[in-house]
Structure 1
């Protein structure tokens, strides 16, 4: 992800990421066996606390690398990007910190967007590639105004922010909840981790006494890079079908989207718009 990672890091660093003191955020990059490992050059010119670590025994699944990152994270609130090619909107981290103060056991789920005119497994069939995406980002003068990303992206939630949600690609939990959850499940050894990201989101929401909080007005934006689930319709379907079969074997139940939206936290207003019945 030599093209994508520097953009991702820029989207998490000051001055792009707003509403945060300089020392409020650490970024940990875990390299899981890249042929050309990232180094400090990927963070050149960024004013941020960024650490680059290498997974000593990389595997085709990112689970061990993610858990290694969780083990060394120092923050009281920890967010996981399973995919290093996702740009953040400018207020995402500050919004997650604000939402975390609303409940003692919050599961904070940010919404997923994909850059381009449609979901990338579809737009790639019609000529959308890295060059087209570079032109797209230049057309909105990114990163001058990160909120323009919403104008050139497609939301992965087809029924809106309160609709069924399969996963969050920037999932934030307090340190204690990550420990209680046990991180990502090491049983998901398939390439890309299969459906380990949905599994982690669902397991987190099932912990006792937690409150799911979905963030509105912020999000992450996937850059096209030939990922397993975003390249073609066939590859996307194959990943989901294979992952669903293994999930059924491991959990004894079918993989289902989370239908309870929890609380909807409007980052622009700094308040919840709605809560689950009885909450």
Structure 2
């Protein structure tokens, strides 16, 4: 018998998918770990970064001060769509009893996202817990990138904000993403940091493998709609916790691929077009002061 103690199984496995994100991924990974994440023990979760075939395998990360230590794994058989890497990591790498998916590794987490995700699951065992998404910059990046917003501008914006020593600064330099534009108080289209119990994932399934296009097309919208509209769904929206998208020439946020292309793939899989989901919402607060500018959006 081994004399080494068995490592305790983490409650939550955070799975972040990256592809050619040498600039963006270090910020995202920093934001997923302690000490950036507040009010949470690093023993309660693990961070898995799955590299989905980057031209240069992702290595540029000094994580010696991060807890939990992020585990960087390379997808054995990378595909243009991230859905395969996310499903593979959830099945073969993650040890948690709950899974958090972050399909886009360019999205910085708010500093209490992990703590409140854990709190939501402890209060509601079968919950699907989700966050809203923001774009860094003066407007959604499909627009701002046509008006001079780019990586250099964004780097300067982030540095001048005081981030990461001032985590709340990201709220001041961002706007709701288009898929979250209905605000906290209404159904949205997708979340870029959502979590669920593993038993629910086993029952309802992971990302649909029919989405094979680069970036995954509408895969993230489809899985979100599938879960929030499941029978007797308990959907918990984290008030105040968000993700903040860094510009990086992504398939959707760059505007390089039009919705009609995504729609065609969706129709080829389901023989119908995508319909924005309608669902009931449970809220977990508090609504922190830094979110004030977002709180009135979507109110009648």
Aligned partner of 1:193 among 210, 216, 225: 216
Q: How does 1:117-266 map to 2 (within 5 A)?
A: 117-156=138-177, 157-232=180-255, 235-236=256-257, 238=258, 240-266=259-285
| Root-mean-square deviation (Å) | 1.8
Q: Give CA deviations for 1:96-122 in whole Å, capped at 9, x if unaligned.
A: 111112323111111000100000010
Deviation at 1:46, TM superposition (A): 2.1
Moved more, 257-266 or 74-83: 257-266
- Match of 1:143, SS? coil
Deviation at 1:205, TM superposition (A): 1.8
1:77–1:97 Cα contact (<8 Å) kept: no
Report what 1:111 is aligned to. 132
State how far apart, in whole Å, the 2-side matches of 1:254 and 1:96 are. Answer: 31
TM-score for the superposition, normalised by structure 1: 0.90
State how far apart, in whole Å, the 2-side matches of 1:261 and 1:43 are. Answer: 39
Structure 1: state its 5+ residue gaps: 270-279
1:40–1:52 Cα contact (<8 Å) kept: no
Deviation at 1:44, TM superposition (A): 4.7
Structure 2: state its 5+ residue gaps: 1-20, 289-300
Report what 2:58 is aligned to. 38
Deviation at 1:253, TM superposition (A): 3.4
Q: Give CA deviations for 1:214-236 in whole Å, capped at 9, x if unaligned.
A: 1111100000000011113xx25
Aligned partner of 2:120 among 79, 99, 114: 99
State how far apart, in whole Å, the 2-side matches of 1:49 and 1:211 are. Answer: 31
Report what 1:273 is aligned to. none
1:47 corresponds to 2:47: no
State how far apart, in whole Å, the 2-side matches of 1:44 and 1:226 are. Answer: 29
Moved more, 10-19 or 245-254: 245-254
- Aligned CA distance change for structure 1 residues 181 and 43 (closer, same or farther; 3 Å): farther
State how far apart, in whole Å, the 1-side matches of 2:189 and 2:287 are. Answer: 24
State how far apart, in whole Å, the 2-side matches of 1:261 and 1:149 are. Answer: 28
State how far apart, in whole Å, the 2-side matches of 1:46 and 1:242 are. Answer: 40
- Match of 2:244, SS? strand
Deviation at 1:252, TM superposition (A): 3.6
State how far apart, in whole Å, the 2-side matches of 1:40 and 1:3 are. Answer: 9
State how far apart, in whole Å, the 2-side matches of 1:42 and 1:252 are. Answer: 46
- Match of 1:220, SS? strand
Deviation at 1:250, TM superposition (A): 2.1
2:63–2:69 Cα contact (<8 Å) kept: no
Report what 2:77 is aligned to. 57
1:164–1:260 Cα contact (<8 Å) kept: yes
State how far apart, in whole Å, the 2-side matches of 1:79 and 1:136 are. Answer: 28
Deviation at 1:267, TM superposition (A): 4.1
Q: Give CA deviations for 1:190-245 in whole Å, capped at 9, x if unaligned.
A: 1111100001111112333321111111100000000011113xx25x1x222223
2:33–2:42 Cα contact (<8 Å) kept: no
